[in-house]
Amino acid sequence: MVVTLSNEYGSGALAVAQRVAADLGYEYVDEQLPVVVGKRLRVRRETGETKEDAKRSLGERFLTVLERATPELAAATGDSFDEERLRAVQDAVREYASHGNAVIVGRGASAILGERADVVRVFIHAPRKWRIARLAETTGARPEAAEAELDRIDRARAAHLRDWYGLTFGDPQNYDLFIDASRFDSAGCAAIVVAAVRSRTP
């Protein structure tokens, strides 16, 4: 089984995805995807991974050459995301999915894999004010800076899904499971996903 985990920025989805992978014994696929994409595109890695990491400024986290090879960050930084990059991302997602037992975070994986019987498509969301407050707290950024970054990333993700897949970002019809992260902690969200995976009949 494969879990794709899409999310509104600032909803704490990475912690949920990591717990789901640990609880199921699945491979957690996040940083690996840009590496695979980078190799496919012959992009040299110059700096560290993208994370909601308080040790780096908000801008620094989204300005690496490697990460601009992934959809939302290409759009968010004004870089070009073309068909070559799209195919590289799609190939990387399908490669990990072919192994099975994986939790794949973002990168349009839910759209790439579609309604396959062996895929559980999860979307993590939360009220905007809650996400802004959480992002400001976890990064140490001012609320207005967190708000601007949140809106920029969400707009970019929405544009990517719309432009390349004809889908609406956050539309419940495109997912199997829709979870409000403000109503549960990361362990609770993960437990819901794990229960759904274990009850899924291929």
Per-residue pLDDT of the chain (202 residues), as tens digits, is: 999 999 998 898 889 999 999 999 998 887 544 444 444 445 433 433 444 444 444 444 433 333 444 555 555 445 556 677 788 778 888 888 888 899 998 888 899 998 888 999 999 999 999 999 998 888 888 888 888 888 888 888 888 888 889 999 989 999 999 999 999 999 999 999 999 999 986 6
Residue 48: per-residue pLDDT: 38
Residue 29: per-residue pLDDT: 84
Q: The whole model's pTM is what?
A: 0.77
Q: Which residues face 103 on adjacent strands?
A: 3, 28
Residue 62: per-residue pLDDT: 35
Residue 49: per-residue pLDDT: 44
Residue 83: per-residue pLDDT: 79
Residue 87: per-residue pLDDT: 82
Supply φ then ψ for residue 116, to 5 degrees. -65, 145
Nearest CA-CA partner of 3 in 101, 103, 100: 103
